[in-house]
Amino acid sequence: MESIEGKKRHNRIEQSYIGRGEYPVKSLVTYLSTLNLRNSISMASLVIALVIITGCSTSQSTSTPPAESTSTSIHTEHSMSMDHIGTTAIAPEGSVSKRPAQITRTPQTIKSKTINLIAQTSYLEIEKGKFLPVWTFNHSVPGPQIEVMQGDTVNIHLKNQLKVPVSLHVHGVVLPNDMDGVPGMTQDAIQPGESFTYTFKANHAGTYWYHSHQDSLNQIGKGLYGSFIVKQKQDNVSADHTLVLDEWSDPNTVVPANENNTLAINSNMGAYNIYTVNGRSGDDIEPIVVHQGDHVRLRLIHAGNMTQTLYIHSSAYRVTATDGQDINQPQLLNNGLLVIAPGERYDIEFTADQTGLAWIGMVGKSTLAQSVRIPILIKKANTTPTSTEIQQQISAQRKQMTSIPDITQPSLDLTTYGQPTKSEFTLSSTFDREYTLDLDMGVIDGKMSYTINKEAYPQVSQLKVKTGEAVKITLINESKNEDHPMHLHGHSFEVLSKNGQALTGSPIWKDTINVRPGDTYVIAFRANNPGMWMVHCHELHHAAMGMMTDVIYEDFESQYHPDPAAGNISE
C-alpha cells in the first residue's frame, strides 16, 4: 500500500509540471534544422542516428556487459503524464556580429559569507566579433567564483531578472533539504522579479559549483552556473586557479570542413560547435601564469554535457581530490590523460620547478578538441610580465601545444590510484538497504526515454531509506555507447568496486560518478541527511528524458507545498 509520504510526493510531482506549455520548446527535428549540417548527411538519417541508435559520445570500453541483476526497489505508480519526455531541448539562439549594448564581464571572485547574485540576460563574446545571447549570474559566464572558508554559514541572495523562473543548486555541497534548489521538490522556482535566499553551512573544504536546477538542460546550457570553492584555513598552495569547461551550440558558427568528429555531435540531441574554458574559446582562452617555486592547484569543473578526455602536459603532478573529496597519498603522474564527465570536479596540484610552458588540452583529432589548449606559463620568481609579453611567449610555443598525444595510453583509473586507508564501507559491510539501478534507453508511453530499471521519471521506483541506515547502490550502464554521469544530491558516496573488482588504491568519495558503457559500479552512503533528494544523470539531455529517481527518507516529513502556478521544472 502506498505511504502517505509517497502520495504527497506524487502530488508534488504532478503540480511541479503544470505550466510546462509556457516554455518555448521545440522538437528535435526543428532544433537540428537550425544547425549547420553537412550536405552529405540527411536530416532524416541524423534523427534516426540520434534518437534510435543513440549515436552520441562514443566510448572505447570493451567491458563485458554485466549479468542481469534484480532490483530490490519497490515500484510506485505515478499518475503524471510523460508528455514532457524528449521535448525539453530548446533551439539555441544564434550569435550576432554587431556588438550588443550589454556584454558579459570577466567573472569576479566574491570572498564573502554573504553573496548577492542576479540572474539576467547578456551577450558572451564567444569568439572575436561573435556575441552569443546568454543568461548569466552577475553578467558573467561563468558566474562569479564564490569563495568561503570551511565552517562558514553562507547566505546567497538570488534575484531573478529573467523572464522565466530559476533556482540555485550548489552541486556537491551537503545542504539542508530545503536549500537544495530543486523546484517542485524542495522549493518553488523563483519567479521573474522575485528573490530567494539560500542559507547553509559549508562544512567540507573542496571544489564545487552552483547552477540553476530549474529546466537545467536549457538554463545551464545558456550560462547559469559558476564555481563554489570552500577553502581550508590552512592551505599549502601559493597559486589557485579554477577552470570551468563547457560546450555551446551556435547555429551561426560553421563546423570546419575537415571536422573529423562528425558534425560535432557528441551528446544525444546536443550538437556542440564551440568549446570554452571559463567562457573563452580557442586562442582567447585565458592563460594561467605562475612563478617558479609556486605550489599550484588547478580546479577542473565540468559544466557541459560531454565526457571529455584531457591531456595534462606536465612532467610531475598529482590528482589530489575529486568532487571535493581528498585522495589519500596520490602518486606523481607524468603527461597523462584524465577523463572528466559532466558534473565532476578534479583538483590537480604540481610544483612549478622550471620556467617554461605546461598546458592542458582536450584529446581528439577534431579541430574542436584541438581548439581547447590551456597554457600554463611558468615565469621566473619575482617577475611581473605584461599581457603582451605573456601572449608573445605563448604564441612562440603554440605549435607545441597543438601536438596530439598518444590517445591509446590509459587514462587515470581512480579505483587503483592513491594509497589504501581505513574508510567507512567495504563490499563486506552490512547494509540496511540495497538497490540496483540499470541505466539504459527505451520507449515509455510511446516516447524515447532514458531509463532506470526500464522506467522513466517520474514513473520510476524511488529509493526508500531511513535516517542512519547504510545504503548500497549498484549502478549498471546497459547503454552501448553512452556515458551516464550519475549525481546524488545531499550526500557523498564511497565507491566500493568497479566491474566486480574492489578498489585497491585510496578510498574514493564522490557525488557524481561516470558510469561508462558496460561498466558496473557499487557505491555506498550513510543516510545522514533527512529529506527528499534527486539521483539523476548529469548528461542533462538524459535527465530531461527520464533518467532520474529520488532518495526518499521514510522518517522525513516535508513542510514544502508546491504552488501549481509556479511552473516548476525539476530536472
For residue 520, the one-letter residue type is: T
Q: How many Å apart are CA 220 and CA 538, to the nearest integer?
A: 11
DSSP assignment of 277-336 equals: ETTB-GGGSPPEEEETT-EEEEEEEE-SSS-EEEEEE-SSBEEEEETTEEPSSPPPB-SE
User: Which pTM value belongs to this model?
Assistant: 0.87
Which helix (DSSP H) or strand (DSSP E) does residue 542 occupy?
helix 540-544
CATH 2.60.40.420 domain locations along the chain: 64-89+418-553, 109-249+276-364+374-411
- Bridge partners (DSSP) of residue 243 are 300
Q: What's the full length of the chain, in residues?
A: 571
CATH superfamily of 64-89+418-553: Cupredoxins -  blue copper proteins (2.60.40.420)
Would you give per-residue pLDDT tens digits along the chain (571 residues)? 334 444 444 444 334 333 323 333 333 333 333 333 322 223 333 333 343 333 334 333 333 333 333 333 333 322 222 333 444 567 778 999 999 999 999 999 999 999 999 999 999 999 889 999 999 999 999 999 999 999 999 999 999 999 999 999 999 999 999 999 999 999 999 999 999 999 999 999 999 999 999 999 999 999 999 999 999 988 989 999 999 999 999 989 887 666 644 433 444 444 788 999 999 999 999 999 999 999 999 999 999 999 999 999 999 999 999 999 999 999 999 999 999 999 999 999 999 999 999 999 998 777 787 889 999 999 999 898 888 989 888 888 877 887 766 667 899 999 999 999 999 999 999 999 999 999 999 999 999 999 999 999 999 999 999 999 999 999 999 999 999 999 999 999 999 999 999 999 999 999 999 999 999 999 999 999 999 999 999 999 999 999 999 999 999 999 999 999 999 999 8
Task: Give residue 269's pLDDT.
Answer: 46
Grid cell at residue 39: 550536405
Task: Give residue 301's pLDDT.
Answer: 98
Output the CA torsion 117→118→121→127 (10° steps).
-20
Residue 496, Cβ neighbours under 10 Å: how many?
23
Q: How many Å apart are CA 401 and CA 432, to the nearest integer?
A: 51
Grid cell at residue 227: 564555481
Grid cell at residue 356: 617554461
- Tell the residue number behind the cell numbers 538519417, with chain if given: 45
Contact 358, 397 (CB under 8 A): no
What 3-state class would DSSP assign to 447? strand
- Tell the residue number behind the cell numbers 545542504, with chain if given: 175
Residue 115, Cβ neighbours under 10 Å: how many?
24
Q: How many Å apart are CA 208 and CA 244, to the nearest integer?
A: 11
Task: Give residue 13's pLDDT.
Answer: 39
Burial 101-112 (b: 16+ CB within 10 A, else e): eeebeebeebee
Alpha-helix runs per DSSP H in 397-491: 398-401
Q: How many Å apart are CA 424 and CA 401, to the nearest integer?
A: 43
CATH architecture of 109-249+276-364+374-411: Sandwich (2.60)
Beta strands at 501-502 and 463-465: parallel, antiparallel or unpaired: unpaired
Closest CA to 161 of 117, 130, 198: 117
